[in-house]
Structure 1
């Protein structure tokens, strides 16, 4: 039974990581004042989950944001302001998902270790390192470093 829950948690949190990398990978996390946008998983909204996901903890390593502007205006580093926007986006996304009545809570934790961005007027490259895990009733169901 433990393997089944671990597998389900990994599937659920896979969508979470798509959202994280989609958000971080676009460079939108470097401009500040970015508005939260819930992910639109239309096919997922028709599925009724047996767990109710919620963001329990969202952190970042001090100085995780690193920028290298090459002949371009330095737009700013990823920092705690962007981290809070990411958390609000995830909260709104998870709130849109349906769960069976009385479903147990699935706590999602994430830690941004590195957000390195190098850019010029015509090119952009980034490197992101994130640790995440899913916990239910003090039991680790899934964890990964990406």
Structure 2
């Protein structure tokens, strides 16, 4: 199985970063997140539908496996393309002071991992923009 890890330093309180990360996929979604349903508790389900630019529409069916706001969020993911579950991964988001680290593992192939590895830095940049108040 293949894994990725990305980090970014964000100059904001951990609570603000955590809440902005959740909002990014739920209440304050960018255009590429087209739908979301969240039950934010351990064992809760989180369904997120995506339409990324120049990419296929897909959905992630997530189950929250660990939650320690504002320092830790972990969830199991089943990626669904064309209505068919295609692979499972796990995601761990840790916020330690201003350092945000995202790790995702379980990709079936390096090519799949690389697609996600290319997107996560942009997600963290958007998160930074939102909590810092800087224009895009």
Q: Indicate the TM-score class for this superposition, using the shorter chain for normalisation.
A: under 0.3
The two structures have a TM-score, normalised by structure 2, of 0.27
Bigger Cα Rg: 1
Specify which structure has the higher proportion of strand. 2
The two structures have a TM-score, normalised by structure 1, of 0.26
